[in-house]
A = this chain, B = another copy of it.
Amino acid sequence: MAQAFADRLIQRIGALGHPLCVGLDPQLERIPAPFRRGTMQAADPETAEVVADFCLAVLARVVDRVAVVKPQSAFFEALGWPGVRALGKVLETARGQGLLVILDAKRGDIGSSAAGYAAAYLGEAGPLAADALTVSPWLGFDSCEPFLDAAARAGGGLFVLARTSNPGAQDFQELESGGLRLYEHVAEGLAERAKRLLGPETGWSGLGLVAGATWPDEAKRLRERAPSNLFLVPGYGAQGASAADAVAGFVRGPGGHLEGGVVSSSRAILFPDAPSDTAESWEKAVDKALQRAITELGSVVA
């Protein structure tokens, strides 16, 4: 039996002193010059190799400096099956290097279809296995069951979309029903099921939720409803939320630091606002952006 995802994650974060998760969002048009070759069109199989090489170069910068990375499946799927093959290579490389991987695929379905997704992305022999997966709650808690089962078997985790960082999150997630907002209903359901993916060493549950960094008040409400569920916090960095906002749902751990989740930054690190016309200048710019995020997040959790 593998060590529980929540324990692996919280322990590595504790050792590193910061909760930064680097998002792997290989947007074709933003991939810097030193990596570009061929047509850079989605239909060209070489493009998927460019994307894989770029992601592997990012992994080389972040390995041993962050606990976890988060590939965004959409950018790989946009390249068709060669892109999915590239995703597999990125997943395998990252995990082989000792990084934890949250695959951001926002899947959601029922019955055997949900089981199919769970087998692919969370199965111990899954062809695209990650340590954790983002899933949508819209179809109801029964739709989460196959994902929960697969995660429990593999020592994996789930992050269920509760309160996302985009303005449209207000259309449904923010609606009130029976005295609770929808995202609070999600949090309550996850709290009830937290034991299914409990990390016995840290007390945190790998049945996590997504709580956008742009909504610190909502993050606090989510934490009240879901005291032991890990948070995945997107929107820090490029989406404009501060480091302090991003950890609004964290709580003091036994070592005195704020803990309880990961804070994701993608484009501010992958595509730093600095010259990247050579591999060396891009590496330097990434290292600097990475260090800035690590320092910021490290200081707000200290």
* Interface positions of A (Cβ within 8 A of B): 25, 27, 42-43, 72, 74-75, 77-85, 87-88, 104, 106-117, 119-121, 123, 125-128, 136-143, 161, 164-173, 175-178, 182, 185-186, 189
What 5 new A-B contacts, CB under 8 Å, besides A136-B136, A139-B164? A42-B125, A42-B127, A138-B172, A140-B164, A177-B177
Cα A138 to Cα B161 in complex, Å, equals 8
Q: Which of B25, B84, B143, B166 contacts A80 (CB 8 A)?
A: B84
CA distance A175 to B174 in the complex (A): 13
Cross-chain contact B110 with A79 (CB below 8 angstroms): no
Pick from B78, B117, B186: contact of A78, CB under 8 Å:
B117
For A85, the chain B residues whose CB sits under 8 A away are 81
Query: Which residues from chain B contact A114 at a C-beta distance below 8 Å?
Result: 74
In the docked arrangement, what's the CA distance between A116 and B106, Å? Answer: 13
B75, B83, B139, B170: which contacts A140 (Cβ < 8 A)?
B170
| B119 in contact with A143 (CB, 8 Å) | no
Q: What residues of B have a CB within 8 angstroms of the CB of A74 in the complex? A: 107, 109, 112-117, 120
Q: How far is the CA of A112 from the CA of B29 in the complex (A)?
A: 11
Contact yes or no, B175 A182, CB < 8 A:
yes
Q: Contacts A117-B77, A117-B78 known; A139 to B166 CB distance under 8 Å?
A: yes
B residues near A106, Cβ cutoff 8 Å: 107-109, 136
Minimum CB–CB distance from A208 to chain B (whole Å) comes to 16
The CA-CA distance from A202 to B125 in the complex, in Å, is 48
Contact between A127 and B43, CB atoms less than 8 A apart:
yes
Q: For the complex, give the distance between the alpha carbons of A120 and B25 in Å.
A: 15
Q: Is the Cβ of B167 less than 8 Å from the Cβ of A140?
A: yes
A168 touches which of B83, B139, B182 (Cβ 8 Å): B139
A287 to B253 alpha-carbon distance, docked (Å):
63
Report whether B109 and A78 are in contact in the complex, using a CB–CB cutoff of 8 Å.
no
Asked if A142 meets B168 with Cβ closer than 8 Å, knowing A113-B25, A120-B80, the reply is: yes
Q: How far is the CB of A171 from chain B (nearest CB, A)?
A: 4
Question: Do B167 and A142 touch (CB < 8 A)?
Answer: yes
A75, A108, A120, A186 — most chain B CB neighbours (10 Å): A120
Cβ of B136 and Cβ of A80 under 8 Å apart? no
The answer to whether A120 and B81 touch across the interface, beta carbons within 8 angstroms, is no
Among B75, B80, B140, contact of A169 (Cβ-Cβ < 8 Å): B140
A141 cross-chain contacts in B, Cβ below 8 A = 168, 171
Q: Judging by beta carbons under 8 Å apart, are A120 and B77 in contact?
A: yes
